[in-house]
Structure 1
């Protein structure tokens, strides 16, 4: 202290006092912060922790020039002294106060410059494993040229003193701190992200509140995210939601923020090259410790979640070590979803993550091992984000939809799938990629599972808008492919049985089904699905019955008979064939065609063939009686032929 002359003294801060001093030799002015330490040992420890700040050199971080320990006679205490540059500029706290008083919004350019520079500075610190620990408006300086600079770092020894936190730090200072820092005295790079979110929220809303109300909403954010409803920008609302996750594991890292398009634009605006950079391993760390075994590799993956190369390397390792992964499913799922969350912009990370999840789900089916973490909302939400962020990456879409298909076999997972809007995203992707069968197959299987697991009717209607139209449109492109056609027909079956058809879809659907029968009469799976869907369509719409008469200039009834003839011993085909004829016989327009094709002879044969199978024999006999009644002058009882949403049809599948 001997070679510094005190020029002025500021009000004491949360962790110490601030002095403006002048170097007696050079005449340069500096800021000197003095932090009281419990004893000399604690002071030396704090000094060692702070030494890394001497080498920090970033345009948005105040330079530290000197660190030393001194004895303060007036306080009779050991002090850690930190000498910093003294830029003659305002604190962000003062600027916010001015805007608050005038009820003036910050201009968009100011917000963008602030966010870009802060993310750049925190990424710089993160690469050097340096935490700030005390980020708030009073510790961010601002020039008229829209340059923001972080100052006044904390150290683990000082900030980790519970007595100091409880006694000396006011509630107004605690509101900027992450929940885990206040409750558990735990700090990490994620804690700084929470604090940055608090500062950003204050900047965005200061014109709405006085200081007390502003601080209240920062306390409220620790309980729920209601205050974010006042943020009108969708991009900023999304960022703040990522920054305010109460679990540090789920909270965004600075590198996740860098991957967001809005933040990239802010980085470009402030001249940062960070948007083109990736985080790297610290010096001396070469890569995952594959030689140390599965547990060590998984721990390494979680430690360096933000480093893309590490995640890709370990994800490839997990794909090879599927047996080990099965023994640690919950831990693997946590590591994989963390990788997906940290690297939303990396299609490679998302793809490999989907492959690992698919491998776990498939292996679980074969071994009867079901782990709830595989069907959790975290997995589903990250799959959805991967599809949304990489809507043109076909391999990723295929793998993501395969995983969604497997997850949708779980009834509880279906609730989350509907809530998060996955069905709409699948249909959107189907419409954008109708020709890609590798996307069509898992998409249709996913739709089948989702409806088969009994989601409520209202949810079905909301999530499956235009589903039938989409499936019919896609189906026309793949009629020659039996595998794809069967999946499409299965999806149509679920949609009709849940009443998710509109009158405008009936004609196209009927024509698609008839063409499927014509091309694949020997494929029992297709025939079963077609018969079941036709039952519902004919029951609800006369248009379907009329379209059956002469599709493409040929007899639809003849095609139905031919298809049944390819599977004479298949009980389900036969049963659904009889149900279909029972519906057709009630349509006046179709009756002559049924008689002309001699369907009664086929029914008589079925009665004899399945006389030992009571249900089928009775159904065939009933259908035969209805057909024979067509020659009776007495009119048969007809169904209402106007279209209506059907109930679940009681047909065998």
Structure 2
């Protein structure tokens, strides 16, 4: 079977990008059945970090007597990862550690998902990863190489444009694919992102080609990077595993998600994989949480990645907040609570309990004339906004978050952080969705008032 593609960008506002695959084969029945099955599998993919396919249809072209498979996929106008790398390379700037970690977390989550469906990307590279914002990425362009079965045509493509295949694994160049091939490609992309501030395009392509035969050049580059930044050590160790020449020596996505550093990246990305098999028996949890506020805070730090532990700790803190010595801990409480909410964003119960606790903490702090700026930093504000946007239809939770934001927006620092994060649009949307909820409307009005007052104060 040969697969020809015509990529056509539809007008803004249309469904998306249409991919057309021409089907030609000597054994037409078997070839077409294979392609149709693979295309149907692509249509079933539903993941936040995968560019989804919206529609599939088959058409016949009478002029050339050929059958075409048409796939309409989600479209993004934000650019792709190659443009981000190019911009960083031009300025000789490093890709920020947080961006690298979130990228790895999101891509591992996506690869774990597709490999579980027995789908391999086959041509993973920076231009096939879309940007949806500064730290959000989506795999795209599964179709052509995923559907191709013509080995000769594949090898011709590789020979015609070797640079575009720099990210491919050694075995993939020989038309042998598995989930390990995608792991190699992801490792190459990470290496490209990590070295773009000191390697140019030619040097990078040369490095990616060299490591297919000998990984000594990779080790030299990683050693050079570690001299300037010891923080790259965990990621360097991951790269050495991902870029093993022999596929049998390479980890699978399932293997990688069990590595503590990758687990941290998955947690930053909000992946449910970061919570797999992370539980403690209830009896042990109860014993560990018998102490006072200080011991509970230590417990939260130790078991930050276990949702059950964080949920129980928040409930325990709520029960201890009325004790006399609680006042001395007020400045220490908000960070661990907002961190738990951010890490376990998928748990509605934890978000509700967390907001109730935050209201109590900030209420007590204000009564004691504690400066709000000492309580709530930018990360805490961003955590609240993330919860608000994730649960934009939950009236009970929104009511509490809006009250919290109103309480802290009196601070000039908080008001500026909220304004930069685009909270005005969120607030107006909430008022529009819940005009009958008096508490929400009052809190939202209070937020807008604080932002307006702080703008005037700042300009004055």
TM tier, smaller: 0.5 to 0.7
**Residue of structure 2 equivalent to 1:238:** 237
Do structure 1's residue 195 and structure 2's residue 185 form an aligned pair? yes
Question: Which of 29, 39, 46 is 2:15 aligned to?
Answer: 29
Q: CA deviation at 1:77?
A: 5.0
Does the Cα contact within 8 Å between 2:15 and 2:75 map onto a contact in 1?
A: yes
Deviations 1:11-44 (A, max 9, x none): xxx9633212259xxx533011223433454344
Q: Which residue number in structure 2 is paired with residue 172 of structure 1?
A: 163
1:163-185 deviation digits (Å, cap 9, x = unpaired): 221223411122221111112x1
What SS does structure 1 have at the residue aligned with 2:130? strand
Q: Please report the TM-score for the alignment, with normalisation by the length of structure 2.
A: 0.53
In 2: Cα distance, 1:105 partner to 1:74 partner: 52
CA–CA distance in structure 2, aligned partners of residues 74 and 138 of structure 1 = 34
Task: Give the structure 1 partner of residue 103 of structure 2.
Answer: 114
2:208 to 218, 232, 235: 218
State the match for 1:82 in structure 2. Answer: 71
How far did 1:79 drift? 3.2
| Compared CA separation, residues 101 and 49, structure 1 to 2 (3 A) | same
Q: Give secondary structure in 2 for the equivalent of 1:179.
A: coil
- Name the counterpart of 1:332: none
Cα 1:120–1:38 change in 2 (3 A) is: same
1:74, distance to aligned residue in structure 2 (A): 8.4
Secondary structure class of the residue paired with 2:241: helix
- Relative to 1, partners in 2 of residues 1:257 and 1:68: Cα closer, same or farther, differing over 3 Å? same
- Quote the Cα distance in structure 1 between the aligned partners of 2:137 and 2:198: 23
Cα contact 1:258–1:274 (8 A) shared by 2:
yes
Task: Please identify the structure whose Cα radius of gyration is greater.
Answer: 1
- The reply on whether 1:136 has 2:125 as its aligned counterpart is yes
Superposed CA offset, 1:462-503 (max 9, x none): xxxxxxxxxxxxxxxxxxxxxxxxxxxxxxxxxxxxxxxxxx
CA drift at 1:209: 2.1
Q: 1:178 to 1:154 in 2, by over 3 A?
A: farther
Pairwise CA RMSD of aligned residues?
2.4
In structure 2, how many angstroms separate the alpha carbons of the residues matched to 1:245 and 1:70?
43
Kept in 2: contact 1:49–1:155 (CA 8 A): no
1:229 aligned residue: 220
What corresponds to 2:54 in structure 1? 65
Residues 157 and 214 of structure 1, relative CA distance in 2, 3 Å threshold: closer
Matches within 5 A, 1:470-489: none
Alignment of 1:381-396 (within 5 A): none
Contact 1:47 / 1:67 at 8 angstroms: preserved in 2?
no
> Conserved in 1, the CA contact under 8 Å of 2:38 and 2:147?
no
Q: Which has the higher contact order (CA 8 A, sep 6+)?
A: 2
Rounded Cα–Cα distance in structure 2 between residues aligned with 1:71 and 1:173: 32
Structure 1's 86 and 157: CA in aligned 2 closer, same or farther, altered over 3 A?
A: closer
2:136 is aligned to 147
CA distance in 1, matches of 2:81, 2:61: 30
Match for residue 349 of structure 1?
Answer: none
Q: How far 1:71 moved relative to its partner?
A: 4.4
Q: Deviations over 1:311-339 (max 9, x none)?
A: xxxxxxxxxxxxxxxxxxxxxxxxxxxxx
| Aligned counterparts of 1:72 and 1:140: Cα–Cα separation in 2 | 32
SS of equivalent residue, structure 1 residue 168: helix
**In the alignment, what sits opposite 2:255?**
256
How many angstroms apart in 2 are the aligned matches of 1:135 and 1:50? 18
Distance in 2, matches of 1:52 and 1:148, equals 21
Is the Cα–Cα contact under 8 Å of residues 43 and 78 in structure 1 kept in the other structure? no
Q: How do 1:17-56 and structure 2 match up within 5 A?
A: 17-21=6-10, 28-39=14-25, 41=29, 42-56=31-45
In the TM superposition, what is the alpha-carbon distance from 1:117 to its structure 2 partner? 0.3
Could you tell me which residue of structure 1 aligns to residue 450 of structure 2? none
The answer (yes or no) to whether the contact 1:46–1:155 under 8 Å persists in 2 is no
Alignment size in residue pairs: 261
Determine the structure 1 residue equivalent to 2:195: 205
Is the 1:133–1:159 contact (alpha carbons within 8 Å) kept by the matching residues of 2?
no
Cα distance, 1:110–1:161 mapped onto 2, change above 3 Å: same
CA separation of 1:206 and 1:79: change in aligned 2, threshold 3 A: farther
Gaps of 5+ in 2: 227-231, 278-460
* Cα shift readout 1:333-377 (whole Å, capped 9, x = no counterpart): xxxxxxxxxxxxxxxxxxxxxxxxxxxxxxxxxxxxxxxxxxxxx
The question of whether the paired residues in 2 share the 8 Å contact of 1:116 and 1:267 is answered with yes
